[in-house]
Chains A and B, each alone.
Chain A
């Protein structure tokens, strides 16, 4: 309780401190419903450096932008925290839409790299000084920047759902007729798709060559470029990495993504607040309950809804089950990638299967749960399910996790494949905005459930798992131990589960969200999952951004890989644990 009352005071003071320190270029964001400070774009680097070096805000978790079309202005939004824990700070830089240029923060926070590329790609904000500002989710020939508010898809129907054509005179139009294949793409004006010759990714290879040159080897050797993916079984989907090899050693590596891109954020900005909920399931489709959790928290910050006690406990139980599912799958597929074939993953999936049965009985679906609502959850536990949850949490999972531990942890082949591979030091992990198990395996005990508690996590007794080598093996160990901690949390939650309602007020499909901004963050299984929502009082959000942990954890991927052998890319990628639905969004 004391934390909750102290927190706003602290947050206020850091903002005031910034204003007094930089009176010329920093001002408080006084718009209604907004918080944080506004920084003049030209002073961004100066302020960010001061935040990092003097004020202890060294962990830049999220970089994004917002297009304020009516005001003719855009802004970049940065969420920054202390790696030692505590509440964070949001700072923004504003600039006119027709001259969208800000200095890049990559020199200060290398973790901004992929996120700034994403912001450039989707919003058309140019980051000056970025070492490699290419499109990242869309292809190079894409017309326009889709998250700008004046951009419209070729099959544009209406600015916001619900579409008027559906009711009361709903004349059905088949999706194929409305959006015919080959006619659903807009090309730049001077672009003819028939005479187009693929440019062989010249920009990508240029960027690879640049980073090879930077390493400045004085011995001239032939560098071999190897394309792994997008159809490579080890990449868990359609993920591609272009690896520059000297012999078998990795000299440089560039991740290429976006093959599964659907512009989740644009879809969400067309949807009403509630309609976004099932779409969040499809981000990281292995842990949909956590995704629901983060989004519900962000909107609840805006509406001020407070879920009843029982709903909070149910949320925690489901979120922790999701973490166990995800870690089981992550470990299983890491072993698959290492060549253990299907035995470990099937052992892992067996336990996951039992948990998914619970999800199915409670939420109605095994993976696309869509279980959280603003101010509660969708439905109460059906009869008999609590008993099943108890059995799983008390009798089934603890021995099975031990068995998995016994089965894999001391296996010499696994250890020799993963120990010392893909090392990330604590300093690098923080600077590169790594999150979740990747961060904690590098010796940084940062877990949002402890560092900046949300929901009712401050009531439970659990340890923040931390390991210190920062290699692939430690990431595996963190996951095993985190499953045990999740089981502990579930056991406590089940014991204390109170009765009562599961939803604040009546369930409603049109949620009134007052204007303002909110950033809801949860410790997802893969790391910090954040939802940045800007509301303008309308039924659909003005801006909706997902801080996707799988995506941002790929920022230090090159760093982890360089110097290792090409076969290690697979082990390292498996130990980061990505889901392409979330990477590409």
Chain B
């Protein structure tokens, strides 16, 4: 108990403290508010200060990152939105907190269901971001979004997403999850090819 433990410990903090400035000098002007600066601070060789100045700086999210779900639609030629969803209800069944409500379209003449949703609601206050809906959707119609900045002033009115809010184009999906998108497209193409073999 001669105080050497404390002195050595302070040595560690001193080294860390100086490490920030060494890194600052090495990366003169590029360590903060730049993409490579953020990448440097979250890399495995980071040293010194590693905090990120949100919202000025944002950490890029990985492809698999999941937040609330959205519905994918195909863009028709005249800007028509064709949802991939067939309202089969698997996402509503698999949802652990049961935050998905789907109303199936019924053909008024025949009374038989039509494979597209009449209404689709997700209560994002209840959604637990587990990703099951996207994982088990057989039509790749519901996917997890990357947008995590969802705060609103009036959550009672705005936090139930309806079709208007949920539908996003395939091109958006392809930009946030390029690898998954490519894999799925390949699988669909293969499946479409199969009967002809």
Contacts of A413 in B (CB 8 A): 6
Assuming the contacts A360-B65, A361-B62, asked whether A347 and B50 have C-beta atoms less than 8 A apart, the reply is: no
Compute how far the CA of A407 lies from the CA of B9 in the bound complex, rounded to whole angstroms: 4
The 8 Å CB contact of A167, one of B9, B102, B128, is: B102
B126 at the interface (CB under 8 A from A): yes
B44 lies within 8 A of A395 (CB): yes
Q: Which residues of B contact A (CB under 8 A)?
A: 1-6, 8-9, 12-13, 16, 42, 44-46, 50, 61-66, 87, 89-90, 92-96, 98, 100-104, 113, 119, 121, 123, 125-126, 128-132, 135-136, 144, 156, 160, 179
Q: Which of A1-9, A169-177, A193-201, A517-525 contacts B (4 or more CB under 8 A)?
A: A169-177
The 8 closest A-B pairs by CB, nearest first: A170-B101, A410-B5, A278-B130, A167-B89, A361-B62, A275-B96, A168-B104, A364-B66
List residues 438-466 of chain A with CB under 8 A from any CB of chain B: none
Compute how far the CA of A274 lies from the CA of B95 in the bound complex, rounded to whole angstroms: 10
B94 lies within 8 A of A509 (CB): yes
Apart from A165-B101, A407-B13, A411-B6, list 5 A-B contacts with CB within 8 A. A167-B104, A168-B89, A272-B94, A396-B45, A406-B12
A378 at the interface (CB under 8 A from B): yes
Measured between C-beta atoms, what is the minimum distance from A75 to chain B in Å?
A: 28
Contacts of B13 in A (CB 8 A): 343, 407
List residues 390-448 of chain A with CB under 8 A from any CB of chain B: 391-392, 395-396, 403, 406-413, 415-416
Subset of 6 A-B contacts with CB under 8 Å: A172-B119, A176-B156, A382-B64, A407-B13, A410-B5, A411-B6
List residues 112-137 of chain A with CB under 8 A from any CB of chain B: none
Compute how far the CA of A406 lies from the CA of B61 in the bound complex, rounded to whole angstroms: 34
Contacts of A163 in B (CB 8 A): 98
Measured between C-beta atoms, what is the minimum distance from B157 to chain A in Å?
A: 10
The 8 Å CB contact of B64, one of A161, A176, A364, is: A364
Compute how far the CA of A436 lies from the CA of B64 in the bound complex, rounded to whole angstroms: 32
Measured between C-beta atoms, what is the minimum distance from B110 to chain A in Å?
A: 16
Assuming the contacts A174-B160, A176-B156, A406-B9, asked whether A167 and B123 have C-beta atoms less than 8 A apart, the reply is: no
Among B13, B62, B100, B125, chain A packs the most CB atoms within 10 A around the CB of B62
Compute how far the CA of A271 lies from the CA of B97 in the bound complex, rounded to whole angstroms: 9
The 8 Å CB contact of A168, one of B61, B62, B103, is: B103
B50 lies within 8 A of A350 (CB): yes
B156 lies within 8 A of A174 (CB): yes
Instruction: Specify the chain A residue showing the minimal Cβ separation from B134.
Output: A364
Assuming the contacts A162-B93, A407-B12, A412-B3, asked whether A172 and B50 have C-beta atoms less than 8 A apart, the reply is: no
Compute how far the CA of A18 lies from the CA of B45 in the bound complex, rounded to whole angstroms: 59
A274 lies within 8 A of B132 (CB): yes
A11 at the interface (CB under 8 A from B): no
Assuming the contacts A175-B123, A275-B94, A379-B64, asked whether A169 and B50 have C-beta atoms less than 8 A apart, the reply is: no
A363 at the interface (CB under 8 A from B): yes
Which secondary structure characterizes the binding site on chain A?
helix
Contacts of B100 in A (CB 8 A): 166-167, 170
Contacts of A162 in B (CB 8 A): 92-95, 98
B92 lies within 8 A of A167 (CB): yes
Assuming the contacts A357-B42, A368-B130, A412-B6, asked whether A509 and B104 have C-beta atoms less than 8 A apart, the reply is: no
List residues 166-190 of chain A with CB under 8 A from any CB of chain B: 166-172, 174-176
Q: Would you give the 0/1 interface string for A51-66, flagging 1 where the beta carbon is closer than 8 Å to chain B?
A: 0000000000000000
Contacts of A231 in B (CB 8 A): none
Compute how far the CA of A371 lies from the CA of B132 in the bound complex, rounded to whole angstroms: 11
Contacts of B131 in A (CB 8 A): 364-365, 370, 378
Measured between C-beta atoms, what is the minimum distance from A515 to chain B in Å?
A: 22
Measured between C-beta atoms, what is the minimum distance from B115 to chain A in Å?
A: 12
Instruction: Specify the chain B residue showing the minimal Cβ separation from A357.
Output: B42
Compute how far the CA of A409 lies from the CA of B4 in the bound complex, rounded to whole angstroms: 11
Compute how far the CA of A92 lies from the CA of B73 in the bound complex, rounded to whole angstroms: 55
Contacts of B132 in A (CB 8 A): 274-275, 278, 509
Contacts of A408 in B (CB 8 A): 9
B102 lies within 8 A of A168 (CB): yes
The 8 Å CB contact of A415, one of B5, B63, B92, B128, is: B5
Contacts of B94 in A (CB 8 A): 162, 272, 274-275, 509
Measured between C-beta atoms, what is the minimum distance from A217 to chain B in Å?
A: 33
Compute how far the CA of A555 lies from the CA of B55 in the bound complex, rounded to whole angstroms: 44
Compute how far the CA of A21 lies from the CA of B139 in the bound complex, rounded to whole angstroms: 61
Compute how far the CA of A409 lies from the CA of B8 in the bound complex, rounded to whole angstroms: 10
B129 lies within 8 A of A412 (CB): no
Instruction: Specify the chain A residue showing the minimal Cβ separation from B5.
Output: A410
B93 lies within 8 A of A392 (CB): no
A509 lies within 8 A of B144 (CB): no
Contacts of B156 in A (CB 8 A): 174, 176
A507 at the interface (CB under 8 A from B): yes
Compute how far the CA of A363 lies from the CA of B65 in the bound complex, rounded to whole angstroms: 8
A507 lies within 8 A of B129 (CB): no
